[in-house]
């Protein structure tokens, strides 16, 4: 994966927030399996799929991660609550720097015709 695209998709500041949130992988007791993947590379591939609306099966091989590995890790991270915790970490960081204005935040809005 080229360093330029990787750094744009997952800059160092974002990776510093994400890395501690990712669950660690233990070696399989029976041995075998595939070698562990670079977590940042897998995360970058997942971010690419999510932001480009690319299908998992069309993930470019330049990321160095198979589409199956990227999707499996995405599902595992989703189940582990990584995305929810990352969202909270970003909000906490912005709040600590007084960069959030809760007075102008819209949580949910809907427009519907009123019934009689």
pLDDT of res. 82: 96
Residue 64 lies in a domain: yes
Residue 114 lies in a domain: no
Query: How many Cβ atoms from other residues are within 10 Å of residue 53's Cβ?
Result: 6
pLDDT of res. 21: 94
Q: Indicate the number of domains in the chain.
A: 1
pLDDT of res. 108: 67
Task: Report the alpha-carbon distance of residue 93 to residue 99 in Å, rounded.
Answer: 9
What residues in the chain have per-residue pLDDT under 50? none
pLDDT of res. 100: 83
């Amino acid at each position: 994966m080229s360093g330029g695209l990787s750094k744009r998709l997952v800059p160092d500041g974002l990776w510093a927030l994400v890395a501690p949130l990712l669950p660690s992988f233990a070696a399989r007791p029976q041995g075998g399996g595939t070698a562990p993947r670079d977590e940042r590379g897998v995360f970058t591939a997942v971010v690419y799929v999510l932001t480009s609306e690319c299908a998992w099966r069309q993930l470019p091989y330049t990321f160095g991660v198979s589409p199956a590995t990227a999707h499996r890790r995405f599902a595992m991270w989703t189940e582990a609550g990584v995305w929810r915790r990352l969202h909270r970490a970003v909000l906490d960081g912005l709040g600590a720097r007084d960069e959030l204005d809760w007075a102008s935040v819209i949580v949910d809005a809907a427009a519907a015709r009123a019934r009689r």
